[in-house]
Structure 1
Amino acid sequence: MAASEEETAQQQIDEIEALSSIYGDDWCVVDEDEKIYCIKINDCLDQPKWTVCLQVILPPGYPTAEPPIYQLNAPWLRGQDYMELANSLEEIYVQNLGESILYLWVEKIREVLIEKAQSSDPEPDFKKTSEEVDEDDGDDFLLDYQPVLEDPIKMLNYVTPESHEVDEELPPIHHGHPITDRRSTFQAHLAPVVTPRQVKRVLEKLYENKKIASATHNIYAYRIYCEDKQTFLQDCEDDGETAAGGRLLHLMQILNVHNVLVVVSRWYGGILLGPDRFKHINNCARNILVEYNYVHSAEESSKQTGKSKKIRKDNKKRTEH
């Protein structure tokens, strides 16, 4: 007999509570409403060489009917290494259909990292580009690495062929409410865009503002839906805040927004914020997307979900009678 929605939801709650208890500070809630979580996993050495962040999104049907949506994040994890690890996780899921599997996934990843640490594999070589270099835990709760280019405006040149260099109309630019924490201030800016050229124009216009131009980081992401190809043109920029652009783009993908550019400016106040800085970046972005009707607020989403559940229940009753 299939589990009810309530039973499935309770299984999720129980699993999340257990994992939070087991992994402590290595467990990170990215977005409670969207059921997005990160678990930092290392090779158990006193000074870990190998670390992976497992990010998971728990869909409503997990664990009884749907698998978790997951991403493996580490600067060194590419190609064959990624595929082998991903295949191992898929195999665990298939062998445990309908069961809670996150603990099994975490320990499988740890097993692989321990094997690497005990082998002759050279230690991964990468460095952080954020000014918060003293934070050991901040940059591990990140999405896939995004290339950091010197000039955040120049990076758009490669997607704008010479023949299309027409002077398109500058879209309206909106500014969100700033968030301040321990002397650091975050503020989001938003503009509707339908071409990469418009993205470039908006960025140029924002950089004409001396205050925005002087920000420690101007992180941005955009998504443009191409009707003819039925695909998305999207990109992002960290501007020195390692992988924050990728995280912002991922938020926009989850919220399923399109034809919009979001820029988040951060003015660093001299006090390290650790992982909280990523929370503020995403909160700023989410708030301005809600304010300009690109996405429902949490309250509206809850009402919509409630209405959907009521409709489903009413339909079920009619079917039963």
Structure 2
Amino acid sequence: MADDVIDPENAGDLQSQIEEVEALSSIYGDEWCVIDEASRIFCIKISNDLEEPKLTACLQIILPPDYPSAAPPIYQINAAWLRGPERAKLANSLEDLYVEHVGESILYLWVENIREFLVKKPKSSETVDQPERVNMTAEEDVDDEDLPDFRTLKLNTENAHLFLDHANDEDVPPIKHGNTITDRRSTFQPHLAPVVTPRQVKMVLEKLYENKKIASATHNIYAYRIFCEDKNSFLQDCEDDGETAAGGRLLHLLQILDVRNVMVVVSRWYGGILLGPDRFKHINNCARNILVEEGFTASMDESTRSGAKTKKPKSKKAK
């Protein structure tokens, strides 16, 4: 965010956001997750603590430039057990909280409201399984031991059969290569291709690995989302390639940006110096940059207008 041009009118909001994010990170620790700091995209895992069955929800948040002074956060709640009237009830309670506290930082109140909702959930609720941890990495023991896992990021192994070899009746999609980011001798480079079938995903990977430099990368992290019109749903998956949790974070970014029919691969050449959590920031920034450059984020504005739960206040309370 430091390199972006800040509108003077939003400088106060940005400072409020920075202070709020720092406070939430301190309060919630590893439950708080920075998805894309430059785009002000965050996520927090919320659970009903010691209640049984243990329920978990993931609150995804995008902070607009004029939050908190004039606009609410854009948000989405991911929880497999949350459907229909219950989802509407929870969404209405968050919107009511926002209207009651217009112009104020609202995220802590939202998180605790969702937690209270989980605690009050009937005991018959379905337990949400958490995905298994896979693919240890050289930096695993530095900061990944307690990284939050989100159910929406579970690898889609049930579709593995779609990757079996078929007749070569599809062309390799065009592959774009983005600008590199270098930090402490580690280099990150994104690659992007439009895909509409799992077979094309496999073809893109094979084509990339024909490049000796890409094949020699320490990690080639990827994620993709394919929209299935007949089922009105997404076929999506990700791969860490040894960089634990990186694939899931990358897929999470694609979900929040609401991109479709696209695959992003981020190559990392490790330079010998541990980057800690900064490596995830570079991976997602690389991905976001190439998605913007290639025009795949155009649908985001549409989705936030139609799908995100926001409510503009009729009047603004004096602070």
TM over 0.5: yes
Q: Summarize the alignment of residues 1-321 of structure 1 with structure 2, pairs less than 5 Å apart.
A: 16-23=17-24, 26=29, 29-32=34-37, 34-38=39-43, 55-58=60-63, 68-71=74-77, 93=94, 96-98=97-99, 99=101, 101-107=106-112, 129-131=135-137, 132-136=139-143, 140=147, 144-147=152-155, 157-160=160-163, 165-295=167-297
* Percent identity for Structure 1 against Structure 2: 59
Counterpart residue identity of residue 159, structure 1: L
Counterpart residue identity of residue 57, structure 1: I
Q: More deviation in 136-145 or 220-229?
A: 136-145
Which is bigger in relative contact order (C-alpha 8 A, separation at least 6)? 2
Query: Normalised by the size of structure 2, how large is the TM-score?
Result: 0.62
The offset of 1:281, in angstroms, is 0.7
Tell me the matched-pair count: 270
**Residues 14/291 of structure 1: CA separation in 2 closer, same or farther (3 Å cut):** closer
| Gap regions ≥5 residues in structure 1 | 1-8, 45-50, 73-77, 114-123, 150-154, 302-321
| Gap regions ≥5 residues in structure 2 | 1-9, 50-55, 119-129, 302-319
The offset of 1:189, in angstroms, is 1.4
Residues in 1 aligned to 2:20 and 2:244: alpha-carbon distance in whole angstroms? 27
User: Is the contact between residue 219 and residue 265 of structure 1 (CA under 8 Å) also seen in structure 2?
Assistant: yes
User: Is the contact between residue 61 and residue 73 of structure 2 (CA under 8 Å) also seen in structure 1?
Assistant: no
**Residues 147/222 of structure 1: CA separation in 2 closer, same or farther (3 Å cut):** closer
Residues in 2 aligned to 1:292 and 1:186: alpha-carbon distance in whole angstroms? 18
User: Is the contact between residue 165 and residue 197 of structure 1 (CA under 8 Å) also seen in structure 2?
Assistant: no
Residues in 1 aligned to 2:229 and 2:48: alpha-carbon distance in whole angstroms? 46
**Residues 11/103 of structure 1: CA separation in 2 closer, same or farther (3 Å cut):** farther
Counterpart residue identity of residue 75, structure 2: I
Q: Secondary structure at the match of 2:295?
A: coil
The offset of 1:220, in angstroms, is 0.8
**Residues 145/156 of structure 1: CA separation in 2 closer, same or farther (3 Å cut):** closer
| Cα RMSD, aligned residues only | 4.8
Q: Secondary structure at the match of 1:284?
A: helix
User: Is the contact between residue 92 and residue 101 of structure 1 (CA under 8 Å) also seen in structure 2?
Assistant: no
Residues in 1 aligned to 2:60 and 2:247: alpha-carbon distance in whole angstroms? 16
**Residues 244/157 of structure 1: CA separation in 2 closer, same or farther (3 Å cut):** same
**Residues 96/182 of structure 1: CA separation in 2 closer, same or farther (3 Å cut):** same
**Residues 24/256 of structure 1: CA separation in 2 closer, same or farther (3 Å cut):** closer
